[in-house]
């Protein structure tokens, strides 16, 4: 495995390092197709990217963004939709052309049709150059939850109870958390030419250990990343606390 691991003292240094890696990608290839993630972990790094755009050091005019996932049933202006998250956290603050930003359409009721449309969007963009990933407490990536096999292409899923519990913090009531979502599959993610994983906090220390230092198994979806030739992990020392001493970090 060729995984490069950056260990940072805390969340804010993790965000800065990840923003540096994304900035390097944008500067070296201003026509990059970036796979985007939502959630708490990338918020800090998106803030840095927006600041760098404002400061004139980053230009997103040639960039395409393709998000990992979206809840089924939430309209794009719903504050908990991933469309809304991407606009408020990044896209409203930088100059990615609107027509080059893609998130699965949570309002498309024909699930098979939306999944094949989304795979076609990725293909038409020429594939993903750099895929940003957060990781769930159970090792999920996108909404690819632990299971008996690795789901390959973009598909629709029923969320597990653990993910509903983790995500309910963003909703008024647990009953408001959507039960289904669209997500890129493991195959979709593995086709990205490079992958940047960001992880923060003690709560994910075991997941980091299982995903990157345990067996490759669909029980820990992120473990498949061990088979990808170009993965960078940026994690704070709390998230790396269960692998202290057994890994080489920068």
DSSP state of 172: S
Q: Residue 12 Cβ, how far from ligand F6R at the closest point, in Å?
A: 15
Closest chain position to ligand F6R (CB) = 134
DSSP designation for 211: H
Backbone dihedral region of 59: left (phi > 0), alpha (psi from -120 to 50 degrees) or beta? beta
CB of 181 to ligand F6R, least distance (A): 9
10 belongs to the catalytic site: no
The tokens of 47 are what?
């803030």
Complex with ligand F6R: residue 59 or 241, whichever CB lies closer: 241
Q: How far is the CB of 232 from ligand F6R (least distance, A)?
A: 16
Read off the tokens for 248: 């080489």
From the candidates 48, 83, 102, 140, give the one annotated as an active-site residue.
140
Q: Name the token pair of 154.
A: 């973009």
Looking at the Cβ atoms of 59 and 111, the one nearer to ligand F6R is 111
The reply to whether 145 belongs to the active site is yes
| Cα–Cα distance, 64 to 131 (Å, whole number) | 12
**What does the chain come to in residues?**
250
- Distance CA(63)–CA(23), nearest Å, equals 12
140 is catalytic: yes
For the question of residue 228 being annotated catalytic, the response is no
Smaller CB distance to ligand F6R: residue 162 or 249? Answer: 162
User: Tokens 């998106």 — which residue?
Assistant: 46
Taking the complex as a whole, how short is the minimal distance between the CB of residue 81 and ligand F6R, in angstroms?
A: 11
Which of 138, 144, 155, 236 is catalytic? The answer is 138
Catalytically active residues are 69, 138, 140, 145
């Amino acid at each position: 495995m060729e995984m490069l691991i950056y260990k940072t003292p805390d969340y804010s240094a993790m965000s800065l390092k990840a923003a540096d890696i994304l900035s390097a990608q944008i500067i070296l290839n201003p026509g990059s197709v970036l796979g985007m993630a939502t959630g708490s972990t990338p918020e800090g790094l998106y803030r840095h990217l927006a600041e760098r755009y404002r400061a004139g050091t980053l230009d997103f005019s040639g960039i395409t963004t393709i998000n990992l996932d979206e809840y089924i049933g939430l309209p794009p202006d719903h504050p908990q939709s991933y469309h809304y998250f991407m606009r408020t956290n990044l896209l409203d603050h930088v100059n990615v052309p609107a027509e080059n930003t893609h998130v699965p359409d949570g309002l498309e009721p024909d699930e098979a049709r939306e999944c094949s449309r989304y795979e076609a969007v990725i293909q038409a963009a020429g594939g993903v150059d750099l895929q940003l990933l957060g990781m769930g407490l159970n090792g999920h990536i996108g909404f690819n939850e632990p299971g008996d096999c690795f789901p390959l292409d973009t598909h629709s899923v029923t969320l597990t109870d653990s993910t509903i519990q983790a995500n309910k913090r963003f909703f008024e009531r647990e009953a408001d958390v959507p039960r289904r979502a669209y997500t890129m599959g493991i195959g979709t993610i593995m086709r990205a030419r490079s992958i940047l994983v960001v992880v923060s906090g003690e709560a994910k220390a075991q997941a980091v250990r299982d995903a990157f230092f345990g067996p490759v198994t669909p029980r820990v979806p992120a473990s498949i990343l061990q088979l990808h030739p170009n993965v960078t992990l940026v994690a704070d020392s709390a998230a790396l606390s269960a692998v202290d001493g057994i890994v080489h970090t920068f």
